[in-house]
A and B are shown apart, each in its own frame.
Chain A
């Protein structure tokens, strides 16, 4: 009995070391750095700068707003799509097609969009067949939302698809037997049962969207500014790592809030 416990403890060592080195230590360093001044003293100055500056607050608002829009767009597209995929015969194959784009490097996908959306790009060429003059498509809020949503969509579809696939088809049949029509079944049975997937999807999309920054420059032309831009600037250009860390801490807090808001309140026995 004792040796089994010891063995379990032994298995915990690499896991614990990993957590300590790559999760807890960096978080602590980030928090510590955000509380120091340039010459090393402890201070709340960085937070005062952050909360005292209209620029940063507006930027935070921007980040949350765009992350919200991206999440909303992906959700609206993903739920029906995951639902339909689930009805198909060879659903694993179709799902694979949806996941396929995630195998391609993010930057390459972004550059592909430049080719599509630029003034001399595919979309404008196509439009010119109908006599529509080239439009400015890049460097707008819309193009940013389009590309960001495209990139995030697989991360929304996957969890929703999985939670839908896990629902016992008998429940649906039972609901029909008891007189519910298709719409009622969807609303009262399928939707509540797939909520964990939706929440997981929201987490997987909202949180990374808060700090997107490559796309804000390449597609948004820096007309869309999020906190990611500010962090990059403080770490690379001004070398004010303290303020950069402060913004990092604030992003982490925002993520924790999101996790709390979307966690599963009622513990359920999920069947495998």
Chain B
């Protein structure tokens, strides 16, 4: 009994010391919610150059508390439930539409946003947020095909329909996302990625089922690791994931099919829960400065919507057709709109049934 008691006391002491140390470290690095010179940033994991956060603190005096989420839906749920005080968040386009409809966003004061002029007008005033009343573009990208030139000829994978080729039996990895996979199937049938017709969706599902013999796996972020390790020769994934994989394997290339694809945006918004608005505006202007945006784009590897930042990037990045496709391809790209509960479920049910298909 005495031994038990002394070990309980020992554990309590260790817990108390760890708790104290944690508080001390939190106070030192400025995370946590307290204090007025703080910015609570809610972003995807590893989605900003950490050096920029330090620079921001140095320039403005605001300490940044960086919290991360791994899906738009998880972020939405957390902001909606309240109890958080995120000053800025970085959702994707369809989620901005959804947050707007749920009254979770604060309109931005354009007089304070002095650096908005740096952005390319092609990426402003989008359907999900007219006149950028609620959001500032952060990065944009595409959905496309990544392939390994050791096993696949470039001319064989220029279009979505090529994925169905009998040459690629059991070679294709797909991203585990109902919208993206059904989206490119709809594009091959000349339909919109936001199609809301039962017949079109059924037709797309039917066509998708015939892709199954070629499908090796349906996975998420792991694609970039597997494709870099030569596990498969072709994968459908996002441009950002592709650029990361390409760093690790020189044989990889990325194609945005010219007939069209998804154009996605991650924009910065101010949720209703924002408490440090001055800090938020300071950050929005800071990250919109061409020099900072360029540094960030080089670190993340996604395409920047900041026109002046693009001009500062090295030529090899700026003229890379894989990540900055030409105007003609861009004109064929489609942006997702929020499908609403009913159609989100229909898309996901169709996708789930596809996943259940036996080879």
Contacts and interface: CB of A to CB of B under 8 A. Distances in A.
B218 A237 contact: no
A233 B352 contact: yes
Given A222-B217, A222-B219, A236-B74, A119 B231 contact: yes
A43 interface: no
A239 interface: yes
A236 B216 contact: no
A225 B352 CA distance: 9
Most chain A CB within 10 A, of B71, B217, B219, B345, is at B217
B1 interface: no
B219 A218 contact: yes
Nearest first, the 9 A-B pairs at minimum CB distance are A221-B217, A222-B218, A139-B217, A238-B345, A238-B348, A55-B353, A236-B73, A119-B231, A118-B231
Contacts of B231: 118-120, 138
B222 interface: yes
A38 interface: yes
Contact of B229 (A38, A119, A222, A240): A119
7 contacts: A120-B229, A217-B218, A222-B176, A222-B218, A233-B352, A237-B178, A239-B341
Interface string A38-78: 10000000000000000100110000000000000000000
Counting contact residues on chain B (CB < 8 A from A), the size range is 20 to 34
B56 interface: no
Interface of A: 38, 55, 58-59, 114, 118-120, 136, 138-139, 217-218, 221-223, 225, 230, 233, 236-240
Nearest to A223: B217
B310 to A, nearest CB: 33
Contacts of B178: 237
A218 B222 contact: yes
A136 B219 CA distance: 16
Contacts of B216: 136, 139, 221
A139 B216 CA distance: 7
Given A217-B220, A236-B73, A55 B230 contact: no
Given A38-B341, A237-B178, 5 more contacts: A59-B356, A217-B218, A225-B355, A237-B348, A238-B348
Contact of B348 (A120, A223, A233): A233
B127 interface: no
Contacts of A233: 348, 352
A238 B344 CA distance: 6
Given A136-B170, A221-B219, A119 B348 contact: no
Nearest to B98: A239
A223 B170 CA distance: 12
Contacts of A240: 341, 345
A55 B356 contact: yes
A138 B230 CA distance: 12
Given A139-B217, A217-B176, A221-B218, A119 B230 contact: yes
Nearest to A55: B353
Interface in B103-132: none
A55 B352 CA distance: 8
Nearest to A115: B229
